[in-house]
Structure 1
Amino acid sequence: MTTQPLLLEGVTAQQIFDDNVSDLKLSWIGGLEGADRTFPSEAVKAAAASSDLVGHLNLIHPSRIQIFGEQEVDYHAQLEQKQRQDQISSLISKTPPCVIVADGKTADADLQLFCQRSSTPLFTTTISAAEVIDHLRTYLTKIGAPQITMHGVFM
């Protein structure tokens, strides 16, 4: 069985924000100039499913929507500043479509600065990271699924 490719290459950070602002209680706090940011085409081509395009902070898969939940924020807070900046720089250089800080946590100053400088959209929400990921996976599946329109007559 072959799978159809996801049709997400034209989906922008602005569209993701607009379509989910109410359900996820999103606030856009940085990288406003990156509203037209999309998934890198190689990330979409490599994705077997929408679940490959959103998840908790992951430097191995940096081209997806990166979610900082409570554990990720706490982990970053305990790093030395140079190490934290290096990780954020590495992540942002791979141009994720957006970064979301969840669980009502505050985006640290380094993350805000790197997102602002690179025009990487940075959103926050009080919703739990797990709920944000579940919601966005469903959302990406719906908007990225191939669609067929058929004409017919019912009798």
Structure 2
Amino acid sequence: MHTITVEEFCKGMGLSVVSADEGAEMQITSSDINRPGLEMAGYFEYFAPGRVQVVGRSEIAYLTSRSTAHQIKYMETYFNKEFPCLIVCRGLDLPEDVLALAVAAKKPVLSSQQSTTQLVHRLIGYIDNLIAPRGTIHGVLMDIYGVGILFTGESGIGKSETALELIKRGHRLVSDDAVELCRVADNRLTGESPKLIRYLMEMRGIGIIDVRSMYGVGSVIRQKSIDLVIKMERWDDDKVYDRLGISEEYEEMLGIKIPRITVPVAPGRNLAIIAEVAARNFRLKAQGYNAAKELDRRMEMMMSGRAEELDPDDVSGMHF
């Protein structure tokens, strides 16, 4: 459920108020839109509450063709149902008796100059973004070769320094220190920077720097999908790290599992290059090629006595 004022909703959708208190709050629970043609005829059995209501030329024509008694009988029941607002398209007017019922039920009536089809298309996208689950995570989000990589790890591990080196190498910063998450689909998560710190980075010993002013507008991007998580941790001699990449790790955020790799941090390791390699490797996997599985296939061929069939230069099975 998301609560938004009538004024904010109208501003976001470019609507005008016909009848409502602009400061009044609406509760929107679904991006599904309802066109109440059946309800205007008196059929309420499958009415779904919580949906924004949209009427256009056909609904208004039907209402105006009915008697005043018909309008009052069914529209009074309609306005007593639970829904956030009614939007009238093409700048059309509700019949006066119907508008009076909306006022009595304290249901916001809004107006759009757009056609019904155009408005519904925009509404679905707007409400999807409005009610999408959100959260905030500590980390740095970068766009590397088109792959959204989220760097996580304890403070002082070197996330910002790695990001700065990547920026120098031509990649783009989304957010430093805090990343606002938004689940825009069942399998897609996006991240962006809070407005307060957008395009800014904290460099210990130097202070706050403005990446956009320092490196140009091509060094930053407003929003990016989160495709891969790189967890940075201090090197532990007693821990066995994955050297083949066969096992799969995931980080769950807002109910979505994102592939994760753990990168140990030690003096002499160039983390920027490692991140670039991780991004390229992620893209190869997405295209159907997995180097670890290719090594496993070669070992299996050798163990089965088919070593003479091995041809590392054969790329016929690769998909680029």
TM-score range for the pair, normalised by the shorter chain length: 0.7 to 0.9
Aligned counterpart in structure 2 of residue 127 of structure 1, from 95, 114, 122: 114
Aligned counterpart in structure 2 of residue 18 of structure 1, from 11, 22, 43: 11
Q: CA deviation at 1:67?
A: 0.8
1:108-133 Cα deviation digits (max 9, x unpaired): 10221112222211111221011111
Say whether 1:38 aligns with 2:31. no
Note the aligned Cα RMSD (angstroms). 2.1
For 1:110 and 1:102, the matched residues in 2 are separated by 18
Say whether 1:82 aligns with 2:61. no
Moved more, 145-154 or 126-135: 145-154
For 2:90 and 2:135, the matched residues in 1 are separated by 38
Determine if contact 1:99/1:120 at 8 Å carries over to the other structure. Answer: yes
For 2:87 and 2:6, the matched residues in 1 are separated by 11
Aligned counterpart in structure 2 of residue 108 of structure 1, from 95, 98, 118: 95
Q: Give the structure with the higher percent helix.
A: 1
Distance 1:94 1:33, change over 3 A: farther
Say whether 1:136 aligns with 2:123. yes
Specify which structure has the bigger relative contact order, considering alpha-carbon pairs within 8 angstroms and separated by 6 or more residues: 1
Distance 1:139 1:147, change over 3 A: same
Could you tell me which residue of structure 1 aligns to residue 82 of structure 2? 95
Runs of 4+ in 1 over 6 A off after TM superposition: none
For 2:104 and 2:10, the matched residues in 1 are separated by 20
Distance 1:147 1:125, change over 3 A: same
Determine if contact 2:90/2:115 at 8 Å carries over to the other structure. Answer: yes
- Which residue identity does 1:27 align to in structure 2? S
1:74-107 Cα deviation digits (max 9, x unpaired): 1111122111112211111013211111022112
Determine if contact 1:34/1:120 at 8 Å carries over to the other structure. Answer: no
Determine if contact 1:31/1:115 at 8 Å carries over to the other structure. Answer: no
Q: Which of 1 and 2 has greater Rg?
A: 2
Point out where structure 2 has 5 or more consecutive residues left out of the alignment.
40-46, 140-150, 152-158, 164-271, 273-320
Determine if contact 1:66/1:96 at 8 Å carries over to the other structure. Answer: yes
Distance 1:121 1:111, change over 3 A: same
Aligned counterpart in structure 1 of residue 34 of structure 2, from 47, 55, 80: 55
- Which residue identity does 1:18 align to in structure 2? K
The TM-score with structure 1 as length reference comes to 0.75
For 2:95 and 2:127, the matched residues in 1 are separated by 27
Q: CA deviation at 1:10?
A: 1.9
Q: CA deviation at 1:32?
A: 2.2
For 1:73 and 1:19, the matched residues in 2 are separated by 25
For 1:132 and 1:86, the matched residues in 2 are separated by 28
